């Protein structure tokens, strides 16, 4: 199953990947995920279909995941 050319390499930030392209993808994905988690505290969701504003951080995170493509749901900054 494992051949000599299929080795896992250990890259920066504890990324384990088979090649450099996969490692770069994983690093960018993890960075994007971390940024989304950090910015969720500064965001609020305005849902015009349900006439409500979502301000709690855990509900904002779930709304970003679930309602990303729903019309009349907007992401706004609290500042």
Half-sphere exposure in the Cβ direction for 65 (13 Å, CA): 8
Instruction: State how many domains the chain has.
Output: 1
Q: DSSP readout, 45-72?
A: EEETTTTEEE-SHHHHHHHHHHSTT-TT
DSSP string, 11-30: EGGGEEESSHHHHHHHHHHH
Establish if 16 belongs to a structural domain.
yes
Q: Is residue 44 part of a domain?
A: yes
pLDDT tens, N- to C-terminus, the chain (79 residues): 344 455 555 556 666 666 677 777 777 787 777 777 778 888 898 988 889 999 998 888 888 878 767 788 888 888 7
Residue 2 placed within a domain: no
Is residue 14 included in any domain, yes or no? yes
Provide the pLDDT for residue 2.
41
Domain span at 55 = 9-77
pTM score over 0.75: no
Residue 3's pLDDT is 46
The set of residues, in sequence order, having a beta carbon less than 8 Å from that of 41 and lying 6+ positions away, is 57
């Amino acid at each position: 199953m494992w051949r000599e050319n299929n080795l896992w390499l250990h890259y920066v930030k504890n990324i384990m990947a088979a090649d450099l392209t996969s490692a770069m993808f994983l690093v960018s994905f993890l960075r994007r995920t971390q940024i989304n988690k950090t910015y969720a505290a500064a965001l609020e969701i305005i849902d015009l279909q349900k006439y409500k504003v979502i301000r709690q951080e855990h509900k904002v995170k779930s709304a970003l995941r679930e309602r990303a493509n729903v019309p009349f749901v907007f992401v706004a900054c609290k500042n």
